[in-house]
Amino acid sequence: MSVPAELLYTQEHEWIAIDGGTATIGITDFATQALGDVVYVSLPEVGASVTAGEPCGEVESTKSVSDLYSPVDGEVTEVNEELNDDPGLINAEPYGLGWMFRVQVAGGQATGTGLLSPTEYDALTKSAG
Amino acid sequence: MTFTVQDTPLKSVHERLGATMTEFAGWLMPLRYRSETAEHNAVRTDAALFDLSHMGEIAVTGPGAGGALDYAVTGWPSALAVGRARYTMLCAPDGGILDDLIIYRQAEMRFLVVANASNTAVVLAELIARCSGAALVTDESVATGLVSIQGPNGCGVLSSVTDIPLAEMKYYAGAYGTVAGREAWVARTGYTGEDGFEIFCAPGDCEPLWDALSAAAPGGVPAAGLAARDTLRLEAGMPLYGNELGTDVTPYEAGLGRVVRLDKPGDFVGRDALAARAEAGPRRKLIGLFAGSRRVPRHGYTVMSGTAAAGVVTSGAPSPTLGRPVAMAYVEPGATGPFGIDVRGNTEPAEETGLPFYDRRK
């Protein structure tokens, strides 16, 4: 199970890559293994406002449906349209081609507030697993 | 009541294969090995192996065994020829389903009853009570391992490691023989809608038998877990106890009235209630639904007819074979479409269809 060192994480098993004011968000390898094959993902609309810790989409797998949370406050600038045709990318490359959406982080939000470091997230998955 | 979780005899195989395990009916079972969709597709197009050692096996033996079972279940086991099998049900006196079963007649005076893992204790207790004095009822669950190979190429793979002539074995038939040199009861049965075989053997023989089967095809035979088993049976329109079947349902609601042999001689548990239900007609009906969107109808979701609730989804999943979500649902007997399904607050369109969703003969 992989937990890349350059990313930050949430309790809800999202990862977040922060580059300046833009955050790229997806779900973790641990999440994809727990969910099984992802068959459908409902993403927020470009332009939509998202709020940290609130549901902004859904991830459907063979066995279950889970809410997708935004780890940060901000406005959605881009969503991964490829997932519409090939949601299996999420299982195949959760940290790469399986990314889900990008957010222009709302001004003033401290980078990393309330997010987990790779070490903290790794510990979380080990206690959950 | 205890909450210990049992391991199957194939635990070390699942560990070696890196399976994601899940607790199911008191057993630690493989949910998937890698992709459940790939496992599902392997069964539809090639072959895959399942560990089904959690299933309950109960032997009913003695000169009165057939007659005793005729009283205990809705089918007519005494009319089975040796080497044949039937799908049947154990019902309560009120006609409610306690479990669905496969009964194999392994010898003139020996029947093997295969029960769902979650219901084995109930089935055992009921069979002991109902067969009392007429036959010997023995729980062989712990002493029996069960490996299944399912898929169109399963017959060829299994044939290469068994002395049983499988090509001539009929569907719902079985025979004693050896598999990879181990004694086994091999039956042409399954829960996938595909051709396949179930191999009952001693627990200690499961692993060598599994290894021989998995090595018996070029490139190997993949393993499949419970997640694939569930989508396979759903596509095949096969009911799952706890979803489509339960104590509040009679076989008639489930569309399985054919398993109730009201034409057999003698009394059986539930006869009066089931005869009355057959006369009055089912209180609800089981239907198939295609989801009109990619959002998957799940167990417990409400089925709508217009703006009114008309029933409930019993099982739903994305169908790997058909490429869209499918569901089975109970609706009121007079309910007509167009149907919708309440998916977490939004009514998504759904199209009624006949069951099964998938038929390998078509």
Compare all CA atoms of chain A with the CA of B317 and give the residue at the minimum distance: A62
Coil, helix or strand at residue B232: helix
Give residue A108's pLDDT.
56
Could you identify the residue written with the tokens 């399963």? B154
DSSP secondary structure, A65-91, as one string: EEEEEBSS-EEEEEE-THHHH-THHHH
Residue A93 lies in a domain: yes
Beta strands A55-61 and A74-79, pairing class? unpaired
Distance of CA B220 to the CA centre of its chain: 26
Does position B8 have pLDDT exceeding 50, yes or no? yes
H helix intervals, B171-326: 206-214, 226-235, 271-280
Q: How confident is the model over B93-138, as pLDDT tens digits?
A: 999 999 999 999 999 999 999 999 999 999 999 999 999 999 999 9
Query: Strand runs (DSSP E) across chain B, as ranges?
Result: 6-7, 20-24, 27-32, 48-51, 56-61, 85-91, 97-107, 110-115, 136-139, 145-150, 174-179, 182-187, 196-201, 285-291, 302-305, 308-319, 324-331, 339-343, 346-353
**A129 in a structural domain:** no
pLDDT, tens digit (0-9, with 9 covering 90-100), for B243-289: 999 999 999 999 999 999 999 999 999 999 999 999 999 999 999 99
Please indicate if any CB of chain A lies within 8 Å of the CB of B323: no
Chain A neighbours among B 225-284 (CB < 8 Å)? 227, 230-231
Identify which of B293, B283, B288, B361 has the alpha carbon closest to the alpha carbon of residue B324.
B293
Overall domain count for chain A = 1
Buried-exposed string B27-54: b where 16+ CB fall within 10 A, e elsewhere: bbbbbbbbbbbbbbbbbbebbbbbbbbb
For position A1, what pLDDT does the model report? Answer: 80
- How many CB atoms within 10 Å of residue A24? 19
- Please report the pLDDT score of residue B1 as a whole number: 44
* Cβ-based burial of B218 (10 A; exposed 0-12, middle 13-18, buried ≥19): exposed
B298–A37 C-beta distance less than 8 A: no
Residue of chain B whose alpha carbon sits nearest to that of A33: B20
What's this model's pTM, rounded to 2 decimal places?
0.94
- The answer to whether residue A127 scores a pLDDT higher than 90 is no
Q: What is the mean pLDDT of residues B320-337?
A: 95
Using alpha carbons only, give the angle A61, A66, A71 rounded to the nearest 5 degrees: 125
Average pLDDT, chain B: 97
Rounded mean pLDDT, A31-59: 95
Q: Any bridge partners for residue A59, and if so which?
A: A41, A66
CB contact under 8 A, A60 and B295: yes
Answer whether residue A101 is part of any domain: yes
Note whether B203 contacts A: Cβ–Cβ < 8 A.
no
pLDDT above 90: residue B148: yes
Q: How far is the first Cα of chain A from the last one, in angstroms, to the nearest whole number?
A: 11
- Chain A residues within 8 Å of chain B (Cβ atoms): 33, 36-37, 39-40, 42, 58, 60, 62-65, 88, 91
Torsions phi, psi for A83 (to 5 deg): -70, -20
Q: Select the residue from A43, A59, A60 to test the B interface by mutation, using most B Cβ atoms within 10 A.
A: A60
Residue in B37, B39, B40 to test binding to A, most A beta-carbons within 10 Å: B37
Q: Give the domain extent around A37.
A: 8-106
Candidates B22, B24, B31, B35: best to mutate against A (most CBs of A within 10 A) is B35
Taking an 8 Å cut-off on Cβ atoms, the answer to whether A60 and B294 are in contact is yes
Domains of chain B: 6-55+143-235 (3.30.1360.120), 56-139 (3.30.70.1400), 284-362 (2.40.30.110)
Residue A26 sits in a domain whose CATH number is: 2.40.50.100
What is the value of ipTM here, to two decimals? 0.85
* Mean pLDDT value across residues A106-126: 82
Interface touch A33/B20, C-beta < 8 Å: yes
Strand pairing partners for B229?
none
The long-range contacts involving B172-179, CB below 8 angstroms and separated by at least 24 positions, are: B172/B84, B172/B85, B172/B86, B172/B87, B173/B83, B173/B84, B173/B85, B174/B83, B174/B84, B174/B85, B174/B104, B174/B106, B175/B83, B176/B106, B179/B209, B179/B212, B179/B213
Q: What is the mean pLDDT of residues B310-332?
A: 97
Average pLDDT rounded to a whole number, residues B185-208: 98
Nearest to A40 among B37, B231, B294 (CB): B294
Write the CA distances from A76 to A10, A23, A47, A51, A87, integer angstroms: 18, 9, 5, 11, 20
Contact A60 B317 (CB under 8 A): no
Residue A3 lies in a domain: no
Could you give the percent of chain A with pLDDT greater than 90? 82
| CB–CB contact B298 A65 (8 Å) | yes
The predicted pLDDT at position B35 comes to: 95
Is residue A112, in this structure, part of any structural domain at all? Answer: no
Q: Say yes or no for a CB contact (<8 Å) between B32 and A36.
A: yes
Question: Is residue A87 over pLDDT 50?
Answer: yes
| Token pair listed for B235 | 């596509």
Determine how many CB atoms are found less than 10 A away from the CB of residue B126: 21
* Sign of the alpha-carbon dihedral angle for B73, B75, B79, B80: negative
Please answer yes or no on whether A37 and B35 come within 8 Å at the CB atom. Answer: yes
Is-contact B92 B129, C-beta < 8 A? no
Size of interface A-B (CB pairs under 8 A): 41
Q: Tell me the chain B residues in contact with residue A64 when contact means C-beta distances shorter than 8 Å.
A: 298
